[in-house]
Amino acid sequence: MLKLVALGAISAALIIAQTPDIRGVWKADLEKSKLAGPPGSTPTNYLAIIEHKTAVFDAHTKEQAPQFVETTGIWGQHGEERTVLTVFLNGKAKVLPYMGVPTRLIASSEGNVFTVSGETAGRPNTFKRTYELSSDGQTLTLHSVANNNGKLAESTIVLLKQPDEAAAPLRAPEETAGKRFKNVKTPMKDLTASEFIESMRYFAWSLGKNCEFCHVRFKMDLDDKKEKQTARKMIEMVASIDAEHFKNHPAVRCFTCHEGHEHPLTHPLFPDEAAAAAAKTAQTAQH
């Protein structure tokens, strides 16, 4: 056992040593970059902070491992959007939330290229991000390809190294959902706007649906759909279960009951039912 742990530590150290050092503050050269998305959605600013941290990799053995943490801030017509991508640097896959949705993430390195691959739990969505560092260490070219149920979206972002102070806008506290949006009533109003949108993605994923299941398209503030009204009650129900029974830990979440279904199941699906349900989810898969 001890020997295995030691070997694990050595291989983790090796991966770190092989990883090109892309830590620091980066800003996109938007003229040289090609972002995925509809025309006219070009952001006005794009910043990233890349760091290494240490965190518990295995909750049972308490094994710790180094982590790559990339915080991205994109400023565009809808204001600011932040995302955090976390992946362990021990060469092993781990399921972590990415953009609000449980994602199996793994990192690898070869020469001056660092790669992160991800797969959404329960949905036919994968992505790959490769970070190529220039020989002078001043330019990082991030190429990303997302495959959402066969639909490809690609982008290339040319990032230029910045002094640490350049990250100030990304380190400043973000606006809350209550301030940013028009009709937010539950305690979710205290989340940052980006965390709130991540929770929305989590809701859609938990129920195997997309945003339009609860929302009138492009009019997210309207309460016209009964599903949205039900969801608000569900948010309150989940908060009260956690408060009353789990000392306020987020022990029960939407997926605990819904498991990817609009209505929680009353029995395990038979194989033919499971195949039909998976095909239906793939159709609505959006990520």
Q: In angstroms, what is the minimal distance from the CB of 266 to ligand HEC?
A: 9
Whether the CB-CB separation of 134 and 159 falls below 8 Å is answered with no
> CA separation (Å) from 110 to 18, 36, 130, 266?
7, 26, 10, 48
Q: In angstroms, what is the minimal distance from the CB of 87 to ligand HEC?
A: 23
SS3 56: strand
Judged by CB under 6 A, the residue of 128, 143, 232, 261 near ligand HEC is 232
Under the criterion CB under 6 A, does residue 242 sit at the interface with ligand HEC? no
Under the criterion CB under 6 A, does residue 30 sit at the interface with ligand HEC? no
> CA separation (Å) from 42 to 111, 168, 193, 286, 287?
31, 22, 20, 21, 19
Q: In angstroms, what is the minimal distance from the CB of 253 to ligand HEC?
A: 6
Cβ count within 10 A of residue 187? 11
Q: In angstroms, what is the minimal distance from the CB of 227 to ligand HEC?
A: 4
Instruction: Tell me whether residue 82 or residue 189 sits nearer to ligand HEC (CB atom).
Output: 189
Whether the CB-CB separation of 161 and 140 falls below 8 Å is answered with yes
Q: Which residues within the stretch 53-82 sit at the binding site for ligand HEC (CB under 6 A)?
A: none
For every residue of 179-200, DSSP letters joined together read: HHSSS--SGGGGSBHHHHHHHH
- Residue 270 DSSP symbol: P
For every residue of 111-178, DSSP letters joined together read: TTEEEEEEEETTSSEEEEEEEEE-TTSSEEEEEEEEEETTEEEEEEEEEEEE-GGGGHHHHSPPPBHH
Under the criterion CB under 6 A, does residue 131 sit at the interface with ligand HEC? no
Under the criterion CB under 6 A, does residue 209 sit at the interface with ligand HEC? yes
Under the criterion CB under 6 A, does residue 262 sit at the interface with ligand HEC? yes
Per-residue binding letters, 174-193, with ligand HEC (x by CB under 6 A): -------xxxxxx-xx----
Residues β-bridged to residue 132: 113, 141
Q: In angstroms, what is the minimal distance from the CB of 8 to ligand HEC?
A: 36
Instruction: Tell me whether residue 46 or residue 203 sits nearer to ligand HEC (CB atom).
Output: 203
Instruction: Tell me whether residue 23 or residue 261 sits nearer to ligand HEC (CB atom).
Output: 261
Number of amino acids touching ligand HEC (CB under 6 A):
37
Instruction: Tell me whether residue 73 or residue 100 sits nearer to ligand HEC (CB atom).
Output: 100
Under the criterion CB under 6 A, does residue 285 sit at the interface with ligand HEC? no
Whether the CB-CB separation of 38 and 86 falls below 8 Å is answered with no
Under the criterion CB under 6 A, does residue 203 sit at the interface with ligand HEC? yes
Instruction: Tell me whether residue 61 or residue 183 sits nearer to ligand HEC (CB atom).
Output: 183
d(CA 22, CA 49): 10
Which positions lie near ligand HEC, rule CB under 6 A?
181-186, 188-189, 197, 200-201, 203-204, 207, 209, 211, 213-215, 220-221, 227-228, 230-232, 234-235, 238, 252, 254, 256-258, 262-264
